[in-house]
Amino acid sequence: MRALKYLLVASPLIIAGCASQPSLPPPEFPGIEQSDKIVIHDQRPSSESEKEIFSLLVTSSAYAIYRMPDTATKPTGPRLLAHRAYETFPELGSQPAINVHHFVTYANLQSQLRKSSLVAGLTGPIGVAILSRQELPVGEVLTTRIDSSIFDKTAGDEEYTRAFFSAEENPEKSPVNLIYIDAEMLGQRVASRCLVPPIKDKPHLFLIEAMDMCIANHLALYSTDSAKETAAK
């Protein structure tokens, strides 16, 4: 069972930086200090910055769903949001403040880990080790605008449901990150949901890279001239 235990520990990194640990270091953000002037009013529930394993029980609907902590990335998600907003919207120079109501990341590895449990029962730890090295089906980053009230409706015992996805979004049931952003700037409040599957040509996708993609798409939802530009994919 040692291999299965290792997979349980390493799996949250499969989407955001492979369990084998890539040889390359995580990306850096030169010039990020230029956006230090942006004041971040962090109004998130404190739990959104903390790690949570919702269930280790295979039969639970919350099994293999994780909330990723702020400490998982450098910079944090809200700090990178402020920096990218500073780069995107020159208007922030005169209104240098962002209210972050929600910025939270979930990892959903249900399908893979349930399959791993089955393999463990049939073939033992060697089968699990082989499965963990298999390449995952790739997909596209999907960002949709949502109503901020979803956070109230799914708080507490229902929070893990935020990591669910539809068959249309993820037909291969690949492990994914779900990144939610709800921020107010320049007099506008926008909330978004971003699904990040394994990405083609990025076998070692760091969580901060997934966040950066979602932030770009989120900022494109603001109705300003700057935001009408095509979001980075």
pLDDT the model gives residue 47: 97
pLDDT the model gives residue 204: 81
pLDDT the model gives residue 228: 43
Among 198, 183, 219, smallest CA distance to 109 is for: 198
Residue showing tokens 């798409």: 217
Asked if 215 and 80 count as a contact pair (C-beta separation under 8 A), the reply is: yes
What is the torsional sign of CA 82, 85, 91, 93?
Answer: positive
Q: Phi/psi zone of residue 135: left (φ > 0), alpha (ψ -120 to 50 degrees), beta?
A: beta
Q: Cα dist. 32→180, 207, 208, 228, 229 in Å?
A: 22, 18, 14, 23, 21
- Checking if the pLDDT of 213 tops 80, the result is yes
pLDDT the model gives residue 152: 94
Mean pLDDT along residues 124-140: 53
- Per-residue pLDDT band for 70 (boundaries 50, 70, 90) equals very high
CB atoms within 10 A of CB 167: 8
- Checking if the pLDDT of 16 tops 80, the result is no
**What is the C-alpha to C-alpha distance for residues 192 and 214, in angstroms, rounded to an integer?**
9
- Checking if the pLDDT of 145 tops 80, the result is yes
**What is the C-alpha to C-alpha distance for residues 147 and 141, in angstroms, rounded to an integer?**
19
User: Torsion angle of alpha carbons 206, 209, 214, 220, nearest 10°?
Assistant: 180
- Checking if the pLDDT of 102 tops 50, the result is yes
Mean pLDDT over the full length of the chain: 82
Q: Which residues are 199's β-sheet partners?
A: 139, 202
Helix or strand holding residue 6 (H, E): helix 2-10
